[in-house]
Amino acid sequence: MLASGSGTNLEAILEADVPVAVVVVDRPCRALEVATNAGVPAQLVERTSFGKDFDRVAYTEQVVDVLRAHGVELVVMAGFGTILDKPVHDAYPGQILNTHPALLPAFRGWHAVEEALAAGVKVTGCTVHVATLEVDDGPILAQEAVPVLPGDTVDSLHERIKDVERRLYPATIAEVIATKGIPTT
Ligand code: GRF
């Protein structure tokens, strides 16, 4: 699993008994604590630059090295704050999943919840999809709608979406593992 934030999807995935070989984070974050407290191997591959000098390919290669070292077969992103480059797609073609807090192809990108709220949509949701080099693209595996309620803030709406993601994502991952025959022990 790749995470950078609060790690609540990671918690849901662990609670669903999805086998997690390693959790990779790009910065110190709660997800790292969640993994450590659960006794799951965790590795900080720290992103040292957010500027123009960031070597995305080299960073991606570092992440791939860690995934390979842990025998990872399916890469699951949940709020990972760094867009990875080609090497991860070469190493794991069609084997990278992502959850996005909107109904793709609407509201791609980092600010999906803000943009849905600003657009005044009455319904948004979440999408579990296969990640490809094109960000927030790739085959859609599952989607679920979430209503936007009067008085919603970005936080309240995102939390309602995450409630759904924490159910939909583990279930979809389990289906993918079953379909691909990836061992669960
Ligand atoms: C999720 O809403 C996911 O769709 C987005 O980042 C959030 C991760 O939340 N990409 P958490 O860190 O699992 O709580």
- The angle subtended at Cα 134 by Cα 133 and Cα 139, nearest 5°, is 90
SS3 77: strand
Mean pLDDT of 58-81: 97
Q: How close is the Cα of 150 to the center of ligand 1, in Å?
A: 23
SS3 165: helix
Domains of the chain: 2-180 (3.40.50.170)
Q: In which residue are the tokens 């599952």 written?
A: 142
Query: Rounded distance, CA 107 to CA 22, Å?
Result: 30
Predicted local distance difference test score (pLDDT) of residue 180 = 76
Q: Tens of pLDDT along 77-120?
A: 999 999 999 999 999 999 999 999 999 999 999 999 999 999 99
Mean pLDDT of 57-69: 98
Candidates 98, 109, 138; CA nearest to 2 is: 98
Q: Tens of pLDDT along 128-181?
A: 999 999 999 999 999 999 999 999 999 999 999 999 999 999 999 999 999 876
Q: In which residue are the tokens 């934030």 written?
A: 5
100 belongs to the catalytic site: yes
Q: How close is the Cα of 69 to the center of ligand 1, in Å?
A: 25
Q: What lines the ligand 1 site, CB under 6 Å?
A: 3, 5-10, 31, 78-79, 99-101, 162, 165
Q: How close is the Cα of 70 to the center of ligand 1, in Å?
A: 23
Burial of 184 (0-12, 13-18, 19+ CB in 10 A): exposed
The model's confidence at residue 58, banded by pLDDT at 50, 70 and 90, is: very high
The model's confidence at residue 183, banded by pLDDT at 50, 70 and 90, is: low
What string of DSSP letters covers 99-157? EESS-TTSS-STTHHHHHHHHT-SEEEEEEEE--SSTT-S-EEEEEEEEPPTT--HHHH
Q: Is the pLDDT of residue 70 over 60?
A: yes
Predicted local distance difference test score (pLDDT) of residue 181 = 65
From 165, 169, 173, give the residue whose CB has the most ligand 1 atoms within 8 Å, as the site to mutate: 165
